[in-house]
Amino acid sequence: MRIEGWLLAATIAFATSAVLAESDVDKGLAIAQEADRRDTGFHDFRAELTMLLRNRQGEESSRVMRSQSIEVDGDGDRTLIVFDEPRDVQGTALLTYSHKSGDDDQWLYLPALKRVKRIASSNKSGPFMGSEFAYEDLASQEIEKYGYRYVRDEEFDNQPAFVIERDPVDENSGYRRQLVWIDKAEYRPLKIEFYDRKDSLLKTLLFKSYRQYLGRYWRAEEMFMENHQTGKSTLLTWKTYEFQVGLSDADFTKNSLKRAK
Amino acid sequence: MRQALTAGLLVAACLQSAAVAGDWRGEVSAEMRQFFASPVDPVQHDRFLSVSGEIEFHDEWDDGRHSLTVRPFARVDQHDEQRTHADLREAVWIYHNDGLEIRAGVDKVFWGVTEVYHLVDIINQTDLVENPDGEQKLGQPMLKMSRESEFGTFDLYLLPWFRERLFPGAEGRLRTQPRVAEELSSFTSDRGERHVDLAARWSKNLGDWDLGVAHFRGTGRAPRLLPGIDASGLPVLKPRYEIIHQTSIDLQGAVESWLWKFEGLRRSDSLDEFFAATGGFEYTLYGFGEGNSDIGILAEGMWDERGDSATTPFNHDAFVGVRWVANDVDGTELLAGVVADWDNGSRFYNVEASRRIGNDVKVGIQARAWDRVDATDALYPLRRDDYVELKLTKFF
């Protein structure tokens, strides 16, 4: 009887914590879904971006690119990035078909050889152009790519924010988990902490200078990524955002990749 | 050279009409090649200094639907008079709108997926004086129409003028023994280089896989080399260009960390009919050794039904190699590998590496060596041509 009582108490306690955990999972997912809902429907945009890479010694190097994206019904976005600097990769272009589940498809265009090369799809954690941004950091952030959990409410930079944890579904991700600060007013990411496979803090990404486009879509003008393990950092600056410029699927094909300049 | 001049005038005319509003870019390279063994032919040299440059003009109008790109190239070589050459690599007007693309002018097109041997690539002639790897091409006059649809992409090519292959001159290395005399080339077609070639290609993305099927009818880009005598009575090889029919397939797939590649073709001309294929994989270990660099393991096989009588050295060969990509700020990369003929044991080693210096300078090194080359192998003339090439390129 006594043992049964203990068992019962333990079962109730376990069930309660499971329910709590479940509600944290639901809440985390709901926050992510709301953020995604508010950022859906822009159809297409293009922008110019620069990256300023800085190492521990303070030496700097820059990258200049142009990017355009289009939303795809029921699937991830398509993105075409063309490089302007450094000069030796000028005209090199990267086409990505991101998918809600499964690996993204990627093609790289090498202008010197006029050759389109497929990129192995498991390349997630590799540095993008030698920067502190990994391919997966810049990829289209689909809901299905992570598991979510609400962690706590916390003020960040004088803004009330949710802190949610998201765990990458893909086993090729370079991260065990990420902590994301999302402001309660507009559901914009303010900060992301990236934890490596050993669960040590690897990088922090700060979103700065948000501007709103089409009266709805918020974009950070600056994204500052700091690697705590190497002391390197990358400042990504987005310029000349233009939404709904009339791009179509035909602007995101291998032929359009070969036309990229 | 006369063609180059005509083309150059045409370019100048085009540029003037475009009001020179577009973008200009360019690059100049200084290069040194050092050979380590004395040459087979005493007129050949051991060290070559060379400079090359190209300029590109690009302009777009009508919201990018129309564009014009012009890219002339020139090289001056210390010893090899054939390697001192100029070529209009591109002078092309492109129109595109909603899945339709038209290209007219001089352009470059690459078909293929494999690393070592570009079997199915046929539209452009190889500029063999630039590099023995055959990846440098001469500009090809063409009219191309392309249509993208849910059933794939259909390309049609009309190629009104044939470009002869460029071969190294008498004093140059990396050449046949004896030299190829371009001035003695001949054609099976009465129309010679004015024979109008046609090509069609269909390609489609099938999820993880990209498939292409193509047919080419026209003057084969790789000539037969027939023994002859030049004007001064010396033995030479005379190129003979045949009309060929070539049907080809190319396939590449990305499955997790694996890239799978295959190219196959059937080619026929007045004397011959054969199948050939090449294919293999590249397996990449991302973030190798807990760091940022990637290591790729490559393996490819090459087979040609003609066997020892093939016009290519890649008739029964296998390639293994390794690619190291540092993913660092300077874009450091290295590719090293060996191609071995499984029939006669001939080996060809290749190492190439490059990195950036600052924002607009790149330094590259290539080393190539031939070992145990069998007298029956097409690489036999290169058996004493082991060399290292250093190249410095400035972009602006």
pLDDT over 60 (residue A196): yes
Closest by Cβ to B254, choosing from A113, A120, A174: A120
Retrieve residue A32's tokens.
Answer: 């992510």
Model confidence at A171, pLDDT cuts 50, 70, 90, reads confident
pTM: predicted TM-score of the whole model, two decimal places: 0.90
Alpha-carbon distances, residue B370 vs B117, B178, B298, B340, B386 (angstroms) = 17, 19, 20, 10, 6
Residue B12: how many other CB atoms lie within 10 Å: 11
Q: What is the pLDDT of residue A22?
A: 64
- B331 in contact with A at a CB cutoff of 8 Å? yes
- Is residue A116 within 8 A of residue A258, CB to CB? The reply is yes
Quick check: B360 and A88 CB within 8 A?
yes
Mutate to test the interface with B, among A118, A170, A229 (most CBs of B within 10 A): A118
pLDDT over 60 (residue A253): yes
Low-confidence ranges of chain B (pLDDT < 70): 1-20, 289-290
Beta strand B23-35 with B294-304 is unpaired
Q: What amino acid is encoded at B217 in this protein? A: R
Model confidence at A81, pLDDT cuts 50, 70, 90, reads very high
Among candidates B393, B392, B389, B391, which has minimal Cα distance to B34?
B389
Residue A199 gets the label, from left (phi > 0), alpha (psi -120 to 50) or beta, of left
Please measure the distance between the N-terminal and C-terminal CA atoms of chain B and give it in whole angstroms.
27
Distance of CA B371 to the CA centre of its chain: 24
Among candidates B186, B253, B258, B250, which has minimal Cα distance to B224?
B186
d(CA B79, CA A227): 51
| Percentage of residues of chain A with pLDDT beyond 70 | 92
Q: Which domains does chain A have, with CATH numbers?
A: 37-70+122-239 (2.50.20.10)
Q: What is the pLDDT of residue A1?
A: 42
Q: Which residues contact A67 (CB under 8 A, 6 or more apart)?
A: A46, A47, A48, A49, A79, A80, A81, A82
Q: What is the pLDDT of residue B286?
A: 86
- Smallest CA–CA distance, residue B38 to chain A, in Å, is 33
Chain B CA closest to residue A234: B329
d(CA B199, CA B109): 12
Residue B260: how many other CB atoms lie within 10 Å: 18
- B12 in contact with A at a CB cutoff of 8 Å? no
Identify whether B178 is preceded by a cis peptide bond (ω within 30 of 0). Answer: yes
β-strand partners of A72: A75
d(CA B89, CA B71): 6
Closest by Cβ to A250, choosing from B99, B257, B282: B99
- Is residue B40 within 8 A of residue B12, CB to CB? The reply is no
Q: What is the pLDDT of residue A29?
A: 96
Range with the largest mean pLDDT of A46-50, A167-171, B253-257, B285-289? A46-50
d(CA B337, CA B351): 7
Chain B CA closest to residue A102: B256
Q: Tokens 């959990």 sit at which residue?
A: A149
Model confidence at A123, pLDDT cuts 50, 70, 90, reads confident
Least confident of A90-94, A98-102, B384-388: A98-102
Quick check: B286 and A85 CB within 8 A?
no
Q: What is the pLDDT of residue B1?
A: 47
**Helix H or strand E segment including B11:** helix B2-17
- Is residue A235 within 8 A of residue A133, CB to CB? The reply is no
Q: Which domains does chain B have, with CATH numbers?
A: 2-395 (2.40.160.10)
Model confidence at A177, pLDDT cuts 50, 70, 90, reads very high
Q: ipTM score here?
A: 0.91
d(CA A228, CA A206): 13
Give me the residues of B, 213-272, that contact A with CB < 8 A. 252-259
d(CA B195, CA B217): 10
Retrieve residue A44's tokens.
Answer: 């297409």
Model confidence at A122, pLDDT cuts 50, 70, 90, reads confident
Q: What is the pLDDT of residue B291?
A: 79
Its sign, for the CA torsion B34, B39, B41, B42, is positive
Retrieve residue B395's tokens.
Answer: 């972009």
